[in-house]
Structure 1
Amino acid sequence: MTRKAYDYIVVGGGTSGSYIAAKMAEQGASVLVLEAGGSDRNPLIQMPAGYVKLLNAARYMWFFQSVRQEQLNGRTPVIPSGRVIGGGSSVNAMVYIRGQSTDYDRWVEATGDESWRYERLLPLFRAIEGNNRFNDDLHGSEGPMKVSDPLHVNELSRAYVQAAQATGLPFKADFNRGQQTGAGFFQLNTHNGRRCSAADAFLYPATKTGLIDISSGSLVHRVRIENGRAKSVIFSRGNAVTEIEAQKEVVLCAGAIATPKILMLSGIGPQQHLKAHGIDVVLDRAGVGENLQDHTEVPVLAFCNGKYGYFGQDKGWNQIRNGLQYLLFKSGPVTSNGVEAGSFFDPDDFSNDAKIQQFCIPSVYLDRGTTDLKPSYGVTINSCVLRPASRGTVRLNSGRADEQPLVNPNYLSDSEDLRLSIAGLRQARRVLNSAPLKHMVDREIFPGTGKDTDEELAKHVRAFVKTVYHPVGTARMGREDDPNAVVTSDLKVMGVEGLRIGDTSAMPNIISGNTNSTTLVIAAKAVEAMAGTVTGAMGSKRAG
């Protein structure tokens, strides 16, 4: 760090933090980025297939342990979250989905602000996007965040798309055009066989301005608020505790679990909860840590009758061959994210807007700790409920910044989420039993043949349902007279000057699909709102 004060302090160097820091520096402001994790300069991050190896890597991930989930047989599932420069965009599956236009209509209803309508956000999506296939009124081709088709598609993925069509779903060439319903291949945030993270697209290029300092390994303790204004940020790096002043704004981009935690440690949140942990109340805001939403998925697994899929491709001679193909030609299985194909649908009526997203994984895959299933040649079809009705909370475990919060996603607390999960299982089975996929499948492992009743499938859901790594909503946008809203429609924390939120915490409702692209648009909206605060910024003169 080269300064004692910065125009802006961005807490979190992930998807939204990378974008906001870059854009403010490009406007001539000095920016400090505080990131709890470390460098993203790891080949496993850069190569698309490598992210699977990072899912259990504490060096790059937070592992937020949930409290006991009553609807999941008392399980306490982990919700991983990126802890690295680039955040989730450095460790996610790279799937590029914007959601449905009606998702954003719900945001307009929550905020009363028409600027959150999808049609109004479309220019931001297009400006961010650098798509190698589309360049039209819906897609951009010149943006820094690269989007491309999979360079390698496994035969099981192709068979899934054909089998899904056999069940009545149409082929969908673009899941981000019109109604989502259909089966097809996901576009990815990749470029020439490499991951394109928000750090690659925005943060690193903007460091050339000389106005951005990135402090990795920095754990934020709290935001100091004086006379109703965010004054500075207190954080630790190693054994040293430092306080840095923000002359314009502090922007929280720490994610939907860490952002409400930081707010509460700063004295903003439910009054009685803060007092219980010995925290001086700056602002009684009941909605902080409420409204937690997360996508969940439940699997159908089947063994194959031949050597189909990716099993063994990271072992022995296969590993050497695939590695050389990637290094020399940027092609082959290493360019795959392992989730090449999928579908969107309403299980009750394919003509309706989608309620479920399916992912086809050309291998036998279950979340850690769920079973001792021996890997083999197989296929997994995961069904994700797109608009879960269940709502959870994030609460402090103590007043210490180095202790994890109490995370209660409250999975399946609404019976509709369970019903849709079961319906997703039934559709996955229909796909497995349709040509050409059925000719490649030997037998179903989970839920298991003969388990057909709602009761039996519900038991499977409760045992195996897991996060899709998309927590949102814990400091949501709303109207200023809404007692449960935390930020205004321009993402300012209500009741505090100079404090803004730029991440998924602000979503009133989760979108229908992977959240990374929408996170960037939230960041872009924050930058639009912040543009007026740059006047009088410190500019390009660097302090010693």
Structure 2
Amino acid sequence: MADYIIVGGGSAGCVIAARLVQAGAEVLVLEEGPARGHPLLDLPAGYMKFLNSERFLKYYPTVPQPQLDGRSMIIPQGRLLGGGSAINAMVYLRGQPEDYDTWAALTGDPGWGYAAMLPHFTAMEGNADLGGLFHGRDGPLKVSHLGHMNPVTAAFLDSCAALGIPLNEDFNGAAQAGAGRMQHTIDGRARQRSSAARAFLAPLRGNPLLRLVSGARVTRLVMRGDRVVGVDYTEGRQTRRAYAAREVVLTAGALATPHLMLRSGLGPQAQLHLAGIPLVADLAGVGQNLQDHCEVPVISALRRGLGYFGQDRGLAMLRHGLRYLLTRGGPVTSTGVEACAFLPMGDDPRPLIQLYCVPTVYLDRTVSGIDPTWGLTLTPCLARPRSRGQVSLNPGDPEGLPLVDPGFLRDPADFQAMRDGIAAARSILAMEPLAGMVTAGLMPRDTSAEAIDRHIRATVKTNYHPVGTCAMGQVTDAALRVRGVQGLRIADASAIPLIPAANTNAPTMALAARAALLILSQPC
């Protein structure tokens, strides 16, 4: 028996496990994936070799989307220790202060507001380049600018400036709007990924208070009366049970956490009845409120030799690899997503579109239509979506994958925002010096209003940021304790009530850092 069982060894689980062990608690972490990824994942550019592989990702197919002409998509989630932080593109962004102030308003707890959350960000951050009020320099999570920037990225920033978009040297600083380089969770000295597992758990290796079981899929929460006292899980072909003396903490992510809750009888009564699962607590919000950033590619052909096309194979790959080994420099120290622009739309000064610059042809695995070539992908991403989806049981197979309905662009305002984002991308492409590098538009080729709408419906995809499916203030109280039962807390992205206007890995870790304090000070 451990004091705490943490279900899911992703970004949130690693943070919480480390904080609890440091406080003297005995912790059991159950992670469905392996304890170690491929060595290439340690390299900033290495994750690209695994984007279309299920080796370290779990793919969740979506239900058909009527508003997208019936398309189904795939939402991948990290499946290894460190979760998304161990396989993602490492972008380190926090969002807008209003995001966290809304968390505080929705929960009635000022501790979730921006002023209170900022210290959680800075305390964990070891930033190699930025300091001051908004950054920490000595924390375990290493953050830095990339070690390499492609000339096409530099041209993108110059074209943004030519269009009047101001340069922003720090998206996590006083203001978010503008164009600039993104920071990443990369050790600026070693030029290696700083995953949550590396930052928070690796220093505790050998500590007898921490026990990690990888390859462990949790199947049920174990109840004693109205209290969650443990979990059932499978390890290989063995079925096992583990007990928690204090709490079970769910950190399996915005898709897996509600699915486990539902399989354990915690959720909407009608849905559980349909699936034949005995009701433990009628929690209408479980699986609801799914939010995700979605994006649409705008792809252009570049003059031969520009961008990153072909640099990941053959002699070029060997040359870049040798340079990295000898100098810790060159394209291997780039994630390929080096800069973006945060763009307001209309009269609202808050950015609504995050426009990524990717100096290659980048398409989702479910989209085709372009042959490999020298290219540039500008990707408008909806930073503050209004649309909502849900995660629910498959009544015919409750133990299988859940039914995931992302609801992308279901709200007409989101669809219009994506149109505006594409128009902004095309305006930047038309400005020098980027215009002189572009030879043709590849996708969409037809730029009529009707064709743009068809393109949006045919290509919109996840930005890999699902949140909100067990939202605090609904499924949990402000201290993240699940309503209707004792001994159970949720402390991952599923607890986020409103998606931040930024990549969600850093916000999830900051939430987990506060969750650890709440676990220790407000037991359930």
TM-score of Structure 1 vs Structure 2, range by shorter chain = over 0.9
**1:84-163 pair list within 5 angstroms:** 84-163=80-159
What is the alpha-carbon distance in structure 1 between the residues aligned to residue 479 and residue 102 of structure 2?
Answer: 16
Letter in 1 for 2:466: P
Match among 175, 182, 186 for residue 179 of structure 1: 175
SS at match of 2:85: helix
Residues 1:6 and 1:168: Cα distance change in structure 2 (over 3 Å)? same
Q: Tell me which residue corresponds to 1:538.
A: none
**CA distance in 2: counterparts of 1:517 and 1:290, whole angstroms:** 23
112 and 274 in structure 1: CA distance in 2 versus 1, 3 angstrom threshold? same
Per-residue CA shift, 1:14-69, capped at 9, x if unaligned? 00001111111111111111111113341221011111111122120010000001
Alpha-carbon distance in structure 1 between the residues aligned to 2:104 and 2:98: 10
Partner in structure 2 of residue 531 of structure 1 = 520
SS in 1 for 2:366: coil
Q: Deviations over 1:309-352 (max 9, x none)?
A: 00010121101101111122221111111100111011325x71
Aligned positions of 1:299-448 closer than 5 A: 299-349=297-347, 352-398=349-395, 402-448=399-445
Change in Cα spacing, 1:68 to 1:400, as seen in structure 2 (3 Å) is closer
Find the aligned partners of 2:73 and 2:301 in 1 and give their Cα distance.
26
> Is 2:457 aligned against 1:457?
no
Inter-partner Cα distance in structure 2 for 1:97 and 1:462: 27
1:271 maps to which residue? 269
Counterpart among 478, 482, 485 of residue 489 in structure 1: 478
One-letter amino acid of the structure 2 residue matched with residue 269 of structure 1: G
Distance 2:435 2:84 in 1: 35
Letter in 2 for 1:420: A
Partner of 1:541: none
Distance in 2, Cα, partners of 1:168 & 1:435: 12
**What is the distance in 2 between the residues matched to 1:179 and 1:533?**
34
Q: For structure 1, list consecutive stretches of 5 or more residues without a partner in the other structure.
A: 479-484, 536-544
Query: Are 1:213 and 2:220 matched, yes or no?
Result: no
Residue in 2 that maps onto 1:292: 290
User: Are 1:395 and 1:407, in contact at CA under 8 Å, matched by a contact in 2?
Assistant: yes
For 1:204 and 1:491, locate their aligned partners in 2 and report how far apart those are by CA, in whole Å.
Answer: 26
**Aligned partner of 2:394: which letter?**
N
Give 5+ residue unaligned stretches, structure 2.
Answer: none
Report the TM-score when normalising by structure 2: 0.98
Quickly say closer, same or farther: Cα 1:534–1:103, change in 2 above 3 A. Answer: closer
Deviation at 1:447, TM superposition (A): 1.1
How far residue 109 of structure 1 moved from its aligned partner, in angstroms, is 1.6
Contact 1:65 1:77 in 2 (8 A): yes
Aligned mates of 2:522, 2:352 — CA distance in 1: 40
Pairing 1:37–2:33 present: yes
- Kindly provide the amino acid, as one letter, of the partner of residue 476 in structure 1: A
CA deviation profile, 1:439-459 (whole Å, cap 9, x unmatched): 1000111111x5132x32111
CA–CA distance in structure 1, aligned partners of residues 454 and 514 of structure 2: 42
Residue 247 of structure 1, CA deviation: 0.5
The answer as to 2:188 corresponding to 1:199 is no
SS in 2 for 1:364: coil
Deviations 1:211-251 (A, max 9, x none): 11111111110111222111110000111100010111000
Aligned to 1:19: 15
Q: What is the distance in 1 between the residues matched to 2:204 and 2:392? A: 35
1:7 counterpart (3, 20, 23): 3
Deviates more, 1:100-109 or 1:401-410: 401-410
Which residue number in structure 1 is paired with residue 223 of structure 2?
Answer: 225
Which residue of 1 is the match for residue 496 of structure 2? 507
Provide the C-alpha distance between the structure 2 equivalents of 1:492 and 1:477, rounded to a whole number of angstroms.
Answer: 8
1:134 shift after superposition: 1.6
Which range moved further: 186-195 or 393-402? 393-402
1:131–1:141 Cα contact (<8 Å) kept: yes
How many angstroms apart in 2 are the aligned matches of 1:160 and 1:175?
Answer: 17
Q: CA deviation at 1:399?
A: 8.0
**What amino acid sits opposite 1:159 in the alignment?**
A
- Offset from partner CA, 1:363-411 (integer Å, 9 cap, x none): 0111112114211111000000111111101001148675100000111
Per the alignment, residue 49 of structure 1 pairs with 45
Which residue pairs with 1:481 in the alignment?
none
CA contact (8 A) 1:347 1:427 kept: no
**2:9–2:83: 8 Å Cα contact kept in structure 1?**
yes
Map Cα deviations across residues 147-174 of structure 1 (whole Å, 9 max, x no partner): 0011000001111111111111100000
Within 5 Å, which residues of 2 pair with 1:59-74? 59-74=55-70
1:482 is aligned to none
SS at 1:431 equivalent: helix
**Does the 8 Å contact 2:370/2:442 carry over to 1?**
no
Counterpart of 1:161, as a letter, is L
Runs of 4+ in 1 over 4 A off after TM superposition: 398-402
Contact kept? 1:310, 1:363, Cα under 8 Å? yes
Rounded to whole Å, the distance in 2 between the matches of 1:30 and 1:402 is 30
Instruction: Give, in whole Å, the separation in 2 of the partners of 1:54 and 1:459.
Output: 29
Whole-angstrom distance in 2 between the partners of 1:399 and 1:521:
37
Asked whether the 8 Å contact 1:44–1:54 carries over to 2, the reply is no
Instruction: Give the counterpart letter for 2:271 in structure 1.
Output: H
- Amino acid across the alignment from 1:146: K
Cα RMSD, aligned residues only? 1.4
- Aligned mates of 2:435, 2:40 — CA distance in 1: 33
Give the SS at the match of 2:367: coil
Letter in 2 for 1:515: T
Q: SS in structure 2 opposite 1:209?
A: coil
Q: Name the CA distance, whole Å, in 2 between partners of 1:214 and 1:184.
A: 39
Say if 2:472 is the partner of 1:477: yes
8 A contact 1:179–1:353 mirrored in 2: no
Instruction: Return closer, same or farther for 1:452/1:179 CA change in 2, 3 Å cut-off.
Output: farther
What is the CA–CA distance in structure 2 between the aligned matches of 1:153 and 1:380, rounded to whole Å?
15
Partners of 1:425 and 1:501 in 2: CA distance: 37
Q: Once the 2 structures are TM-superposed, how far is the Cα of residue 533 of structure 1 from its aligned partner? A: 6.5
Contact residue 163 and residue 437 of structure 1 kept, 8 A: yes
Question: In 2, distance between residues paired with 1:343 and 1:337?
Answer: 17
> % of aligned pairs identical?
45
The answer (yes or no) to whether the contact 1:339–1:360 under 8 Å persists in 2 is yes
